């Protein structure tokens, strides 16, 4: 890259390493790439929807740099590598606001550290690891404790005066807690919550929603609007700090915090102090795993030599400090085509719009569908089939569509019309909540409910497939699970594709399930907020269905894994299915749970293949646990992997399915990052285990879906 400063001045720092980018074949191709990059940068500056997503911009930029290396004579003053910020330029910075070098993997990080050790001629004393906030750099001057000037970074030497906007920025007080004269540097950004609020405000004013939090922050800092969009600030450096607080970066940051300024250390990401590069890589991996849960956007991690003495000795190269480096994460927002909008109806009747997408890599995962939240949100955002949409996936968050690129809309794109009737049963829709539901609730899903009752994890009725169920429902022979027990051979034999022999077998296999343990019956009822494991626990706890139906809320809370909220839901659901239970009992379905050693024969435990850490073919996933998992010993961590159906392993290889990274993780986390393996934060692993034990399938699935590569 020729000019890091300029790259950052247009605020879209390249992530693609130019050393590996392909130069353009002709000058014309190079020129049109320059034009395209300038257009995107201009849109970015105006706070408009980006014409290119980050990854595409970075790739474009890298090729421009590569071409200029190969053909220096092609380069003109309008290249994005030469262009500096278009902002006011009326504040001169006290010292240049420099950029920082980038690495993209832990090998790069180790190379940087090794080079720094060589420069110092001794190992770096300590490092700090903090979030690289995805916003824009500003400098805030305080004179005797009062905020006197706020300037954007601009071209690094002079920036635009945005002092009047300071009132919008949380974390940057008008007055410090002490009357010091100091310059604070940091990032202005928009939190995820404020981004959502800001989008709503824009819609309310008839303006298009923001493209992403960063361009929203950039636009809002400059814009004079009739409405105010909240912004936030986080400090990562300062000049003029009194000597007693200036011996290290971490001390400077602590001092700023004490003065009342928001800092990276106080953020949900925190600032880690590490003694060696192994600790650094583990901290980088741990932060990466939490990326989606921080509440604000980070595009990487910044690693710095902590001691001021080390920093001073290392100094600067022509354009960036040698004492610090940015480890960039893969882009978490990309654009792709929205192929169509499907409407899904859940087992309990909840109706949701789901986006079907042209497959796209986002943050290392191929995404083919994404949530559109609810119909109100979808209509407000006016997302249409055929649109080019922004897909955001960060950490564990389910991929979501944050908006559409307006200029890319095909002329014939039709606005989406929400369903007038339930797409499954054709009945009315209950729109009283943001989440629409079929007015018939779970009755809408008769077939889904029946399929669940007959499934392997519940009553496991052999020979009763999808097609026969359809035919039985269509003929009106059954409406619920209990009706299955009333079916006789002549009725079944009279149906298509079933002869007398098959009909007799089916009647027998249905009848045989009457003896199944209570836990399976309970599972088959599909009570919300329970699953196989929790149903088993409930059945064991109460012993009989009568005891279950008679239990008070307080008694429910005695069951391991059931709190007051869950108890209330279960009670309401049981009341709803009480008539079905009575009907099943009248058909002679067993309503007791066997106790004692005999119970092990069929406890209703989930089939092994249904355990969370099983691959689709039923084989166990290989999982490595490194560092500590909250609440578990090392042994218990490995046992937990097995309890979840996985195989725990002590070494990381390309065969590892994922790595659980906790506090104190070392070289295994580094290796996992190098191999590009999915990483699960130890806290989340603990949550996964708790959810599994509680039979909370929604949460286990949610945690695991984001792991797939």
Residues 426, 396: contact at Cβ < 8 Å?
no
Active-site residue 132, yes or no? yes
DSSP string, 125-142: S-EEEEEEESSEEEEEEE
State yes or no: residue 130 binds ligand IVH (CB under 6 A).
yes
State yes or no: residue 98 binds ligand IVH (CB under 6 A).
yes
Q: Tell me the β-bridge partners of 149.
A: 141
Give kind and range of the element (H or E) at residue 430: strand 429-430
To the question of whether residue 56 is assigned a binding role by annotation, the answer is: yes
Contacts of 617 (CB under 8 A, 6+ apart): none
* Residue 381 CA to its chain's centroid (Å): 21
Closer to ligand IVH by Cβ: residue 8 or 683: 8
User: What is the rounded radius of gyration, in angstroms, for the C-alpha atoms of the chain?
Assistant: 30
- Using DSSP, state whether 643 is helix, strand or coil: helix
- Strand 365-371 relative to strand 350-362: parallel, antiparallel, unpaired? antiparallel
CA-to-CA distance for 386 and 383, rounded, in angstroms? Answer: 9
State yes or no: residue 217 binds ligand IVH (CB under 6 A).
no
Q: Which of residues 11-50 bind ligand IVH (CB under 6 A)?
A: 13
Interface segment toward ligand IVH; rule CB under 6 A; list 132-140, 358-366, 383-391, 667-675: 132-140
Interface segment toward ligand IVH; rule CB under 6 A; list 22-30, 55-63, 127-135, 431-439: 127-135
Q: How far is CA 378 from CA 6, 411, 508, 513, in A?
A: 38, 19, 49, 45
To the question of whether residue 422 is assigned a binding role by annotation, the answer is: yes
CA-to-CA distance for 472 and 494, rounded, in angstroms? Answer: 11
Interface segment toward ligand IVH; rule CB under 6 A; list 14-22, 126-134, 288-296, 623-631: 126-134
The least distance separating ligand IVH from the CB of residue 304, rounded to whole angstroms, comes to: 7
Determine which one of 132, 668, 671, 684 is catalytic: 132
Residues 379, 335: contact at Cβ < 8 Å?
no
State yes or no: residue 106 binds ligand IVH (CB under 6 A).
no
* Residue 26 CA to its chain's centroid (Å): 41
Q: Which of residues 312-351 bind ligand IVH (CB under 6 A)?
A: 321, 324, 326
Which of 10, 100, 498, 703 is close enough to bind ligand IVH by CB under 6 A? Answer: 100
The least distance separating ligand IVH from the CB of residue 18, rounded to whole angstroms, comes to: 15
The least distance separating ligand IVH from the CB of residue 326, rounded to whole angstroms, comes to: 5
Question: 268 exposed, middle or buried (CB, 10 Å; 0-12, 13-18, 19+)?
Answer: exposed
Q: Which of residues 226-245 bind ligand IVH (CB under 6 A)?
A: 236-237
Closer to ligand IVH by Cβ: residue 153 or 537: 153
The least distance separating ligand IVH from the CB of residue 275, rounded to whole angstroms, comes to: 20
DSSP string, 157-212: SEE-B-GGGGGGEET--SB-SS---EEEEEEEE-BHHHHHHHHHHHHHTT-PPPSS
Q: Which of residues 517-556 bind ligand IVH (CB under 6 A)?
A: none
Q: What are phi and psi of 298, to 5 degrees?
A: -125, 140
To the question of whether residue 425 is assigned a binding role by annotation, the answer is: yes
CA-to-CA distance for 84 and 204, rounded, in angstroms? Answer: 34
The least distance separating ligand IVH from the CB of residue 199, rounded to whole angstroms, comes to: 23
The least distance separating ligand IVH from the CB of residue 467, rounded to whole angstroms, comes to: 58
State yes or no: residue 128 binds ligand IVH (CB under 6 A).
no
To the question of whether residue 274 is assigned a binding role by annotation, the answer is: no
Q: Which residue is nearest to ligand IVH (CB)?
A: 137
Closer to ligand IVH by Cβ: residue 239 or 431: 239
List of residues contacting ligand IVH (CB under 6 A): 8, 13, 98-100, 130, 132-133, 137, 187, 236-237, 264, 302, 321, 324, 326
Which residues are annotated as catalytic?
132
Annotated binding site for Zn(2+): 422, 425, 444
């Amino acid at each position: 890259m020729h000019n890091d400063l300029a790259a950052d001045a247009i605020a879209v720092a390249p992530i693609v390493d130019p050393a590996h980018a392909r130069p353009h074949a002709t000058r014309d191709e190079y020129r049109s790439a320059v034009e395209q990059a300038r257009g995107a940068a201009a849109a970015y500056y105006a706070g408009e929807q980006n014409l290119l997503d980050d990854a595409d911009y970075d790739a474009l930029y890298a090729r421009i740099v590569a071409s200029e290396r190969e053909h220096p004579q092609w380069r003109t003053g309008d290249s994005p590598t030469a262009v500096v910020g278009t902002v006011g330029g009326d504040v001169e910075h006290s010292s240049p606001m420099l950029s920082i070098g980038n690495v993209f993997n832990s090998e790069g990080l180790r190379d940087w550290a090794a080079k720094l050790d060589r420069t110092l001629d001794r190992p770096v004393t300590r490092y700090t690891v903090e979030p690289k906030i995805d916003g824009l750099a500003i400098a805030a001057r305080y004179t005797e404790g009062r905020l006197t000037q706020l300037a954007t970074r601009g071209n690094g030497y002079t920036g635009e005066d945005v002092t009047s906007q300071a009132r919008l920025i949380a974390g940057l007080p008008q007055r410090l807690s002490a009357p010091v004269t100091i310059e604070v540097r940091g990032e202005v950004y928009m939190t995820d919550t404020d981004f959502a609020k800001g989008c709503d405000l824009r819609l309310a004013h008839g303006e298009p929603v923001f493209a992403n939090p960063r361009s929203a922050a950039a636009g809002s800092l400059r814009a004079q609007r009739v409405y105010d969009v909240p912004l936030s600030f986080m400090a990562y450096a300062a000049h003029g700090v009194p000597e007693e607080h200036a011996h290290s970066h971490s001390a400077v940051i602590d001092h700023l915090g004490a003065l009342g300024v928001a800092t990276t250390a106080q953020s949900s990401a925190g600032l880690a102090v590490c003694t060696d590069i192994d600790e650094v890589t583990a901290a980088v991996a741990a932060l990466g795993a939490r990326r989606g849960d921080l509440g604000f956007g980070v595009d990487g991690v910044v690693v710095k030599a902590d001691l001021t003495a080390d920093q001073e000795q290392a100094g600067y190269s022509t354009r960036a400090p040698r004492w610090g480096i940015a480890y960039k994460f893969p882009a978490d927002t990309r654009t792709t085509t929205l192929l169509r909008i499907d409407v899904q109806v859940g087992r309990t009747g909840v109706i949701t719009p789901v986006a079907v997408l042209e497959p796209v890599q986002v943050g290392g995962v191929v995404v083919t569908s994404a949530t559109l939240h609810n119909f109100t949100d979808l209509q407000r955002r006016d997302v249409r089939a055929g649109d080019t949409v922004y897909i955001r996936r960060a950490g564990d968050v389910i991929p979501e569509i944050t908006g559409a690129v307006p200029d890319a809309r095909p002329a014939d794109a039709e606005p989406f019309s929400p369903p007038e009737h339930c797409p499954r049963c054709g009945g009315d829709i209950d729109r009283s909540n943001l989440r629409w539901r079929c007015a018939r609730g779970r009755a809408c899903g008769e077939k889904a409910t029946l399929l669940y009752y007959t499934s392997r994890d519940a009553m496991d009725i052999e020979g009763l497939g999808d097609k026969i169920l359809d035919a039985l429902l269509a003929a009106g022979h059954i409406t619920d699970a209990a009706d299955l027990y009333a079916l006789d051979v002549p009725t079944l034999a009279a149906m298509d594709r079933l002869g007398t022999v098959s009909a007799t077998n089916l009647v027998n296999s249905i009848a045989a399930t009457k003896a199944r343990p209570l836990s399976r019956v309970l599972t088959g009822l599909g009570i919300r907020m329970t699953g196989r494991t929790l149903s088993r626990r409930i059945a064991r706890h109460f012993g009989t269905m009568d005891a279950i139906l008679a239990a008070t809320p307080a008694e429910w809370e005695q069951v391991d894994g059931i709190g007051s909220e869950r108890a209330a839901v279960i009670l309401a659901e049981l009341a709803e299915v009480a008539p079905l239970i009575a009907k099943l009992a009248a058909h002679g379905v067993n309503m007791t749970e066997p106790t004692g050693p005999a119970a092990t024969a069929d406890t209703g435990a989930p089939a092994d293949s249904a355990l969370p850490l099983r691959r689709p073919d039923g084989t166990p996933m290989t999982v490595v646990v490194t560092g500590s998992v909250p609440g578990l010993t090392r042994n218990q961590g490995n046992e937990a992997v097995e309890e979840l159906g996985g195989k725990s392993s002590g070494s990381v290889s390309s065969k590892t399915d994922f790595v659980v990274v906790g506090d104190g993780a070392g070289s295994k986390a580094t290796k996992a990052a190098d191999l590009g393996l999915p990483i699960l934060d130890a806290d989340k692993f603990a949550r996964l285990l708790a959810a599994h034990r509680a039979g909370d399938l929604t949460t286990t699935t949610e945690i695991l879906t984001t792991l797939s590569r």
